[in-house]
């Protein structure tokens, strides 16, 4: 796995000085002065550092596998444990790809975080046409959750039980209150199971594996106060009711224009719940305006590096150690990021480049973890 040489790091340092960003220059200088070959993200961090992992790439790309093995001590199942992948037919479960990740995690003593048991997206076609009364829907829901969790009992340390249940304004997703009449923004579970389906999902998962830690996971909590407020109200209500919830995932799909005060506010308020906090899907887009002619310039890399370091600093500062479940990036290298195909744009949102070499932002990130 190639990495930036001392000469390259020196060039980056002096360019940063010229750009007038002394804090980032300090981070990069420390990277320049100390050899990086003996350090990895997992050895530098005071908490687990993870990535969403694709089992196909893990098996077929040696550079990808080497980075996962070397840099991370936690992995998240990117897509292979979502409904459409793991439950492709009503009476059929496919655990083959998830088992690949579980075996890898076990053999490398890596934590395995399962994603996810319930989501409004990525559901199989058969589910959309399922016919049944409320009792039939409840059996289906419970059977799916408990079959998947039971299969990975003792192998998956934690689960994103429910993913993205709220609109940005803080209202609960349901087919009845979908903004702009977009059916894919609604939630089949709220429509067929009622608004308390989230609490029951946690209860069913806990029954299947009492030792697994259970998380609620959502995006843009750092941007939309209504969504953040609804999530905090929900988890506090769950705690009062005795619903078995252990943590909150703040996805942190952000970009170089994301206001820093929103990041600080979200992390602080979520930590105040007393639950474990997982920065669960971190990436930082450098092309939020979808510029087709964008170049990944030094100035963009400096902005991105500064924001990656800021996220780490705020997490370390605002989340008590016993609540720090760790930071996970969503994918490993720029080439396998979800951002490029989803938004059909140029972008470089992660710590490793298309060939899985360390980028300058990697050194800002690792030094923020240490300092």
pLDDT value, residue 175: 67
Strand partners, 283: 253
Specify the 3-state DSSP secondary structure of 215. strand
| pLDDT for residue 181 | 58
Pick the CATH number of 6-370 from 3.60.20.10, 3.40.50.10320, 1.10.3720.10, 3.20.20.80: 3.20.20.80
Residue 71 among the catalytic residues: no
User: What is the C-alpha to C-alpha distance for residues 66 and 71, in angstroms, rounded to an integer?
Assistant: 8
Residue-wise pLDDT for 268-322, tens only, equals 999 999 999 999 999 999 999 999 999 999 999 999 999 999 999 999 999 999 9
- Of 340, 360, 362, nearest in space to 351 by CA: 362
Structure-block tokens of residue 324: 């720090």
pTM of this prediction? 0.89
> In what helix (H) or strand (E) does residue 282 lie, and over which residues does it extend?
strand 276-285
Nearest-5° Cα angle at 317, 315 to 323: 60
pLDDT tens, position by position, 239-269: 999 999 999 999 999 999 999 999 999 999 9
Strands of 13-79 (E only): list them: 49-53, 74-77
In contact, 292 and 345? CB cutoff 8 Å:
yes
CA geometry: angle at 84 spanning 83 and 87, to 5°? 65
More confident site: 238 or 191: 238
pLDDT band at 38 (very low <50, low <70, confident <90, very high): confident
| Number of residues assigned to the chain | 371
Asked if residues 202 and 244 have their Cβ atoms less than 8 Å apart, the reply is: yes
**Active-site entry in 71, 78, 222, 281:** 281
Residue ranges per structural domain of the chain: 6-370
pLDDT exceeds 60 at position 235: yes
Q: Residues 202-224: pLDDT tens digits? A: 999 999 999 999 999 999 999 99
Candidates 71, 78, 164, 222; catalytic one = 164
Among 45, 41, 128, 44, smallest CA distance to 84 is for: 128
- Span 39-57, average pLDDT: 97
Name the nearest CA neighbour of 280 among 203, 221, 339. 221
What are the pLDDT digits (tens) for 84-135?
A: 999 999 999 999 999 999 999 999 999 999 999 999 999 999 998 999 999 9
* Residue keyed to tokens 């997982």: 278
Assess whether pLDDT exceeds 70 at residue 21.
no
Give residue 252's region: left, alpha or beta (phi > 0; psi -120 to 50). Answer: left
CA distance 263 to 252: 8
Assess whether 175 carries a catalytic annotation: no
């Amino acid at each position: 796995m190639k990495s930036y040489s001392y000469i390259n790091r020196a060039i980056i340092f002096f360019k940063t000085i010229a750009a007038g960003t002394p804090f980032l220059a300090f981070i990069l200088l420390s990277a320049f002065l100390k050899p990086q070959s003996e350090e990895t993200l997992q050895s530098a961090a005071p908490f687990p550092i993870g990535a969403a992992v694709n089992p196909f790439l893990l098996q077929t790309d040696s550079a990808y596998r080497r980075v996962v093995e070397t840099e991370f001590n936690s992995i998240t199942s990117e897509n292979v444990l979502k409904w459409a992948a793991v439950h492709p037919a009503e009476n059929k479960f496919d655990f083959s790809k998830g088992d690949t990740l579980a075996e890898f995690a076990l053999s490398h003593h890596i934590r395995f975080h399962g994603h996810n048991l319930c989501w409004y997206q990525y559901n199989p076609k058969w589910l959309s046409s399922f016919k049944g009364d409320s009792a039939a829907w409840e059996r289906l829901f419970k059977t799916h959750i408990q079959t998947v969790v039971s299969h990975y009992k003792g192998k998956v340390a934690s689960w994103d039980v429910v993913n993205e249940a709220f609109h940005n304004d803080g209202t609960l997703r349901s087919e009845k209150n979908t903004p702009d009449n977009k059916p894919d923004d609604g939630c089949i579970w709220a429509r067929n199971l009622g608004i308390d389906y989230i609490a029951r999902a946690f209860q069913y998962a806990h029954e299947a594996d009492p030792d697994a830690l259970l998380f609620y996971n959502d995006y843009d909590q750092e941007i939309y106060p209504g969504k953040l407020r609804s999530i905090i109200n929900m988890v506090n209500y769950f705690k009062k009711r005795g619903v078995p919830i252990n943590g909150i995932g703040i996805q942190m799909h952000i970009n170089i224009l994301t206001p820093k005060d929103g990041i600080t506010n979200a992390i602080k308020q979520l930590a105040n719940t007393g639950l474990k906090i997982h920065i669960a899907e971190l990436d930082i887009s450098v092309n939020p305006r979808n510029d087709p002619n964008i170049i990944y310039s030094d100035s963009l890399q400096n902005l991105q590096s500064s924001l990656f370091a800021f996220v780490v600093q705020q997490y370390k500062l605002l989340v008590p150690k016993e609540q720090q479940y760790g930071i996970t990036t969503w994918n490993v290298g720029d080439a396998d990021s979800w951002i490029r195909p989803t938004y059909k744009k140029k972008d470089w949102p992660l710590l490793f480049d298309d060939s899985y070499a360390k980028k300058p932002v990697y050194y800002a990130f690792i030094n923020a973890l240490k300092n």
